[in-house]
């Protein structure tokens, strides 16, 4: 097979190749990728063959816009907040996958890594192809990742039809991979989006050495109904208490706001928001105003998604900028 190298003028051809179930190398801001239609198991097999990649190493799925994320994964509010802040860019977010993603892409896992690359050629290619693009680095398995089209050619000559040349990769090392599929976000692979940057959006992140890091004041970008101090929604009383203890250990002064009886330990600062949804609605803004004067971190019980409770949650998700612990 002849391997052609083209610049941005080859994007349309590259998109056609992807649509036809074949594979193409393309530049991203991290390293060059070897991409195929993420929804087509045959294309995915071609990627593994061309690289000689072990089947148990999952591929990252690249999309051109965050609105496509819902099509491939179950997107949580916290993941959306991450995309708002860091996409397009060198951050891969691992989420529970949807059924349309074949198990070949994820090496049999029930999660999928999603990234929106920033490189113009990558985004135009993915959007023209009209499908999510699964792409590992465009090197032979276990070789050095390619940061120029010439590097890709060294490894992929005769194995793929087209390499899109977008010059030298701006960042030069692979994306940060953040697993958001469990209770605590975990960095699986460090990259140009650092833990300090992630802690601007998330209340806590486990680094790749297994150490839990807690934000000083996360997510101050989107201020709607927002207290002046950091806050987060708790998915259960257990996670609220665990997070409260972690904050205290880190020298914070947290409080938990919830319905009557949500937390009853005398050692935990708790504000009672009432019994019924109507009471919570009536009290919640006053409680937030009181809490921000006395505490530096507010943890709020997450209510259900029905009726008036839903309307309260709608405001609280904005108050917490989608941060759920």
Among 144, 188, 220, 294, binds ligand AMP (CB under 6 A): 188
**DSSP label at 36?**
E
- Which span sits near ligand AMP by CB under 6 A: 54-62, 67-75, 162-170, 214-222? 54-62
Among 92, 137, 147, 175, binds Mg ion (CB under 5 A): 137
Minimum distance of Mg ion from residue 19's CB (angstroms): 24
Q: In whole angstroms, what is the distance from residue 94 CA to residue 160 CA?
A: 28
Convert residues 158-177 into a mask of x (bound to ligand AMP by CB under 6 A) and - (unbound).
----------------x--x
Q: Is 111 in the site for ligand AMP (CB under 6 A)?
A: yes
Q: Which of 161, 146, 154 lies closest to 21, judged by CA? A: 161
Contact criterion met (CB below 8 Å) for 258 and 273 = yes
- Which span sits near ligand AMP by CB under 6 A: 64-72, 106-114, 125-133, 297-305? 106-114
Q: In whole angstroms, what is the distance from residue 140 CA to residue 157 CA?
A: 11
Q: Is 28 in the site for ligand AMP (CB under 6 A)?
A: no
- Which span sits near ligand AMP by CB under 6 A: 111-119, 153-161, 194-202, 258-266? 111-119
Q: Is 109 in the site for ligand AMP (CB under 6 A)?
A: yes
Q: CA 258, 226, 298, 309: dihedral to nearest 10 degrees?
A: 20
Contact criterion met (CB below 8 Å) for 36 and 133 = yes
- Which span sits near ligand AMP by CB under 6 A: 76-84, 108-116, 219-227, 239-247? 108-116
Q: In whole angstroms, what is the distance from residue 169 CA to residue 18 CA?
A: 22
Q: Is 152 in the site for ligand AMP (CB under 6 A)?
A: no
Residue nearest to Mg ion (CB): 137
Minimum distance of Mg ion from residue 51's CB (angstroms): 8
Tokens read off for 8: 């941005």
CA atoms within 13 A on the CB side of 220: 10
CA distances from 37 to 65, 84, 116, 287, 308 (A): 16, 25, 15, 50, 42
Q: In whole angstroms, what is the distance from residue 189 CA to residue 5 CA?
A: 30
Minimum distance of Mg ion from residue 241's CB (angstroms): 40
Positions in the binding site for ligand AMP (CB under 6 A)? 57-60, 94, 106, 109, 111-113, 136-137, 174, 177, 188-189
Positions in the binding site for Mg ion (CB under 5 A)? 137
């Amino acid at each position: 097979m002849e391997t052609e190298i083209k610049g941005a003028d080859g994007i349309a051809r590259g998109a056609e190749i992807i649509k036809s179930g074949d594979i193409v190398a393309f530049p991203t801001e991290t390293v060059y990728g070897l991409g195929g239609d993420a929804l087509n198991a045959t294309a995915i097999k071609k990627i593994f063959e061309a690289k000689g990649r072990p089947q148990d190493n999952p591929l990252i799925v690249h999309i051109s816009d965050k609105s496509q994320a819902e099509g491939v994964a179950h997107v949580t509010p916290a993941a959306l907040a991450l995309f708002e802040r860091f996409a397009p860019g060198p951050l891969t977010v691992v989420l529970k996958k949807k059924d349309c993603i074949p198990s070949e892409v994820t090496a049999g896992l029930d999660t999928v890594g999603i990234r929106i690359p920033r490189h113009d050629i990558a985004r135009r290619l993915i959007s023209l192809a009209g499908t999510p693009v699964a792409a590992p680095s465009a090197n032979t398995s276990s070789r050095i990742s390619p940061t120029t089209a010439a590097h890709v050619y060294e490894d992929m000559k005769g194995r793929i039809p087209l390499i899109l040349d977008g010059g030298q990769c701006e960042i030069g090392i692979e994306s940060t991979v953040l697993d958001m599929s469990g209770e605590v976000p975990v960095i699986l692979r460090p990259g140009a989006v650092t833990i300090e940057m992630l802690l601007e959006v998330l209340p806590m992140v486990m680094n790749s050495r297994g150490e839990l890091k807690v934000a000083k004041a996360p997510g101050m970008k989107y201020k709607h109904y927002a207290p002046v101090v950091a806050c987060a929604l708790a998915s259960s009383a257990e996670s609220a208490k665990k997070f409260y203890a972690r904050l205290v250990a880190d020298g914070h002064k947290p409080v938990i706001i919830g319905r009557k009886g949500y937390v009853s330990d005398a050692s935990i600062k708790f504000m009672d928001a009432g019994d019924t949804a109507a009471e919570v609605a009536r009290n919640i803004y006053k409680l937030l105003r009181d809490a921000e004067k006395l505490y530096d971190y507010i943890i709020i019980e997450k209510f259900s998604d029905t009726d008036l409770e839903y309307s309260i949650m709608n405001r609280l998700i904005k108050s917490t900028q989608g941060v759920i612990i």
